[in-house]
Structure formats: C-alpha cells, structure tokens
Amino acid sequence: MKVFALLFAAVNIYLGARCFLNLVGVLQTSKYGTGTTALFAVLFLGFAAAAVWFAFWGNNPKLAFWLGFGPWALALVVMFFTLILSNPR
C-alpha cells in the first residue's frame, strides 16, 4: 500500500509542478484559465505533500493512498464545472 501511495504522490508532484510552472509562466501548455491552473497546482502539490508525510512519518499508508488519490477526484469535479460554466471563445 505504501508503494502505491508513493507512486500516486510522485505523479501528483509531477502534475502539480507542471501546473505551478504554467502559473508562473515558465511553461505555456495549460488550456485552462489562471485560476483553475492555480487550483490544480495547490491541490496536487498539497495533497502530494500530505501523502508523503503520512506514508513516511505518519505511519498510515492507507490514508496516504487516499490522499494521493484525492486530487484526481477533486480535479475531475473542478474540470467538469469549469467546462460547464466557462464562456466559449
């Protein structure tokens, strides 16, 4: 369980870092607005940090796994509402 939690955390760190780099202007690959990109960066990096902490120092790999999976579910909900409520260009 700890291995899967750390794999989720590694992928979340990668995606959060990409969103953060899009936010500060280093990358320009995001197709979403600035607010959504910032929210994704905070979600993925924050949940990944919490998952790593609970996997190593919190001694709770099951919670670390669910924290690694959490931003995916929240990101899908945010993307759904962004697609529904945003204005087409």
pLDDT, tens only, 52-89: 999 999 889 899 999 989 988 988 888 898 889 887 77
- Which token pair is 58? 């919190």
Rounded-to-integer distance, Cα 8 and Cα 30, Å: 21
Give the DSSP letter string of 21-79: HHHHTS-----S-HHHHHHHHHHHHHHHHHHHHHHHTS--HHHHHHHHHHHHHHHHHHH
Q: Give the position of tokens 């924290």.
A: 67
Assign 13 a pLDDT band (cuts: 50, 70, 90).
very high
Q: Which of 33, 39, 20 is nearest to 77 (CA)?
A: 39
Cα 4 to Cα 12, 15, 46, 62, distances in angstroms: 12, 17, 18, 10
* Local confidence band at 9 (pLDDT 50, 70, 90 cut-offs): very high
